[in-house]
Structure 1
Amino acid sequence: MGEGHDHGQQIMRAGEKHRGRLWAAFALLVAFMLVEAVAAWLTGSLALLSDAGHMFTDVLGIGMALAAITAASKASHDGQRTFGLYRMEVLAALANAVLLFGVAIYVLVEAVRRFSAPHEVLAGPMLVVAVAGLVANIAAFFLLRSGSEESLNVRGAYLEVLGDLFTSVGVIVAAGIIALTDWWYADPIIAVAVGLFILPRTYKLGRAAVRVLVQAAPPHLDVAQVRDALAAVDGVADVHDLHVWTLTSGMEVASAHLILARDSDLAGVLAASRQVLHDRFSIEHATLQAEPQGADGVCDASGW
C-alpha cells in the first residue's frame, strides 16, 4: 500500500506548485476590485457594482484556495489528522458557492428595483473601469488556467474569473449603449444577465463540493463496475462492503472486503486488486480486507 499513501503528498504538491500564480492573481484582482467598487459608487452603475461584487468572490475564492493549500501542508505533519486537511479546499469551495449565490440574488433584486426607477449612470468612467477590469480578468484567467484541472478549489476560482471576464464585457456593452443613447435600462439589464450567469455556475460548484462532503461515489466512476472488476481478479470469490469516495480533488479512495477463493495467494490477490483499481479507475489509495471463505458470519457488513 506504500504507493497509495504517497498520493496525498502528490496532491498537496500539485496545489503548492500553483501558489505563486494564485498570489499573483489574488493581488491583481484585489486592486481592481477596489477600483471597481469605488467607480461603481461614483458612477451609480449597478452593472459595475455587480462586477465588483463578482470580483470580490474571485478574490475570496483565491484566498481560500491559498489558505487550503497552506493548511493541508501544515496538517501533513500532525499524526492525529491521518488524512491531513485535504477537505479544507472542498469546504472553501462550498463556502465560495454560497457567497456567489448571495451575490447573484442581491444583484437580481437590486436590478428589479431599478427597472421601476432607473438611475442615471456616468458612462465614460464606467467604460474605462470596465475595460481595465476586463484586462485584469484576462490576466488572472491565464494565471489560474493550468491549476484548474488539478484542484477543485482552484477550479472554482478559475471559473469565477472566467465568468467575471464575460461580465466585464457585458458592463462594457452597457456603458457603450448608455454613452450613445442615454438608455439607462441597459445598466440593470446587464446586471440581471450577470446574476443569471452566476447562478448555474454556483450550483455546479456547490454540487461538486457537496458530493465530496457527503462521500458520494465520484460521478465518473460506476461502483458496480468497480465491484465487478475486483470480483474478476484471480483468487477473489466475492466482493462486499465496497465503498468509493473522493477525499479531495483528484484523490479517489476505496475500501472493500474480498472473499478469497480456496488456495489463493493472499499477496498476489492484494497486488492484483490494487493494480486493477489503479489502472482502470485511477484509484491510488485503497484499503482492502481479505477474508477466507466462510467468514461471512464473522465479518458483519456495515449498514452504510
Structure 2
Amino acid sequence: MTVCNHSRWQPSHDYRPLETTAERQAWRVVALTGVTMLVEIVAGYAFNSMALLADGWHMASHMLAIGLTALAYLLARRYAHDPRFAFGTWKIEVLAGFASALLLVVVVAMLAFESLWRLWQPQTIAFDMALWVAVVGLLVNLASAWLLRDTHEHVHSHGPAGGHAHIDHDHDHDHSAQAAGKDLNRHAAFVHVLADALTSVAAIFALAGGMWLGWDWLDPLMGVIGAVIIAVWAKGLLLETGKVLLDREMDNPVTARVRSAMAQEADTELADLHVWRVGRAQFACIVSVVTHGDGSADRYKARLTGIAELVHVTVEVNRCAAEQGTT
C-alpha cells in the first residue's frame, strides 16, 4: 500500500507579506515619538508651560496608537504558524487598524469639545511658546510620516504552492502572482501621524494670526475645522477595516469574476458562493455548483486559475442525479 504524502495538501495559511519593513518603521516612530513626549513633558514641568505639557501628553496618546500598530505586526508574525488561526494572522493587523480608527474618534471628540469650549470661553494664549511647540510637533510628525510612507512594495506571501483534489471538493493554494494590496495597519498609523501634522499646521497658522493680527478666536476655530477633517479620515478607516473584519466582500470585483467564470460552464448552475479576504489582496472562496454532467472539482477549479487573488479555493459539485437516489 502506497503511503500518501499529506504535507502536499497542507500548505501554510500565512498570507502576510514576507517583508518586515513596516514593522521596523513603526517601532522607529514609537521611539521618536516617545523621546519627543518625554522632552516636552519634562520641559513643561520645568518651565511651568501648559502648552508644552498638553502637547507632551497628546504625544503620549499618539505613541500609544503607533505602538498598537507595531505590536500588531509583532503578534501577527509570532503566531503566523499557530494552527488555531484558520486563515493566518493577517487580520490581527486589520484589528489594530480598526482600534487606531476608534482612537482617532476619541481624539476628534476631545479636540472638538476643547475647541468649542474655548470659542465660548476664550483663554489667554502664550503665543511665542505655543508656536515653538507647534513647529517642533510638525517636524516630528513629518519625520514620522516619512517613516510610515507607503513604498508600494511588491511582495509575496509565505507558504509554498500546493493543491488538494477530491471527487467533489478541491482546495487550491496559488501564491505565484499576488498584488501587495493596502496595508491597513500601516495606513491607520499614517493617518494618525497625518492628523497630528494637520493639527500642527493649523496651530501654526492660528497662533501666527493671533500673535500678529490679534485674532485669538482663530486658534479654537482651526481646532474645530481640524476635528471635522480628522473625523472624515476616521470614518474612512473604520469602513475599510470593518469591511475586512466582517467579511463583507461579496460586492468585491473578485466575486463578480468568480461568478463570470462559473457561468461559462455549460449545464452548470452556481448554487452558493462565499468570498472573503485572507490577506491584503488575497481571497478565499467556497464555490458550490449544481450540474447534470460529470464535471469534476478539478474542472471547475481550472475555471478559476486565472484569478490570481484567489489563494484558497474549495469547490463542491452537486449532481442532480443524486436527488433521484443515484450517485
TM superposition score normalised by structure 2: 0.76
Could you tell me how far apart the structure 1 residues matched to 2:77 and 2:62 are?
23
Query: Is the counterpart of residue 181 in structure 1 residue 186 in structure 2?
Result: no
Aligned to 1:290: 317
Are 2:94 and 2:244, in contact at CA under 8 Å, matched by a contact in 1? yes
Are 1:239 and 1:256, in contact at CA under 8 Å, matched by a contact in 2? yes
Could you tell me how far apart the structure 1 residues matched to 2:40 and 2:227 are?
17
Could you tell me how far apart the structure 1 residues matched to 2:255 and 2:139 are?
45
Aligned to 1:9: 14
Q: What are the equivalent positions in structure 2 for 1:75-224 lying under 5 Å apart?
A: 75-146=79-150, 150-217=182-249, 220-221=252-253, 223-224=255-256
Q: Deviations over 1:248-273 (max 9, x none)?
A: 43332211113356243543432x23
Could you tell me how far apart the structure 2 residues matched to 1:51 and 1:273 are?
58
Matched to 1:134, the amino acid is: L
DSSP-derived class of the 2:14 partner: helix
Q: Deviations over 1:168-204 (max 9, x none)?
A: 1111112211221343222211211221121111111
Are 2:209 and 2:218, in contact at CA under 8 Å, matched by a contact in 1? yes
DSSP-derived class of the 2:90 partner: coil
Could you tell me how far apart the structure 1 residues matched to 2:9 and 2:144 are?
35
DSSP-derived class of the 1:87 partner: helix
Aligned to 1:277: 307
Could you tell me how far apart the structure 1 residues matched to 2:41 and 2:262 are?
56
Q: Deviations over 1:112-135 (max 9, x none)?
A: 111122111111121112111111
Are 2:270 and 2:287, in contact at CA under 8 Å, matched by a contact in 1? yes
Q: Deviations over 1:5-43 (max 9, x none)?
A: 55x5352424x2322211112211233345556778955
Summarize the Cα distance change of 1:261–1:125 in structure 2 as closer, same or farther, 3 Å threshold. farther
Are 1:39 and 1:126, in contact at CA under 8 Å, matched by a contact in 2? no
Are 1:72 and 1:86, in contact at CA under 8 Å, matched by a contact in 2? yes
Query: Which of 256, 264, 268 is matched with 2:295 structurally?
Result: 264
* Identity across the alignment (%): 27
DSSP-derived class of the 1:145 partner: coil
Are 1:246 and 1:252, in contact at CA under 8 Å, matched by a contact in 2? yes
* C-alpha deviation, 1:230, in angstroms: 2.4
Aligned to 2:28: 24
* C-alpha deviation, 1:216, in angstroms: 0.6
Aligned to 2:261: 229
Could you tell me how far apart the structure 1 residues matched to 2:124 and 2:324 are?
77
DSSP-derived class of the 2:306 partner: helix
TM superposition score normalised by structure 1: 0.81
Could you tell me how far apart the structure 2 residues matched to 1:40 and 1:104 are?
24
* C-alpha deviation, 1:235, in angstroms: 6.4
RMSD: 3.2
Could you tell me how far apart the structure 2 residues matched to 1:286 and 1:56 are?
44
* C-alpha deviation, 1:58, in angstroms: 4.0
Q: Give the helix-richer structure, 1 or 2.
A: 1
Are 2:98 and 2:237, in contact at CA under 8 Å, matched by a contact in 1? yes
Q: Deviations over 1:57-106 (max 9, x none)?
A: 54333222221122122222322222233222222222211211111111
Q: Deviations over 1:188-241 (max 9, x none)?
A: 112112211211111111111221222111654263443122232x46712221
Are 1:223 and 1:244, in contact at CA under 8 Å, matched by a contact in 2? yes
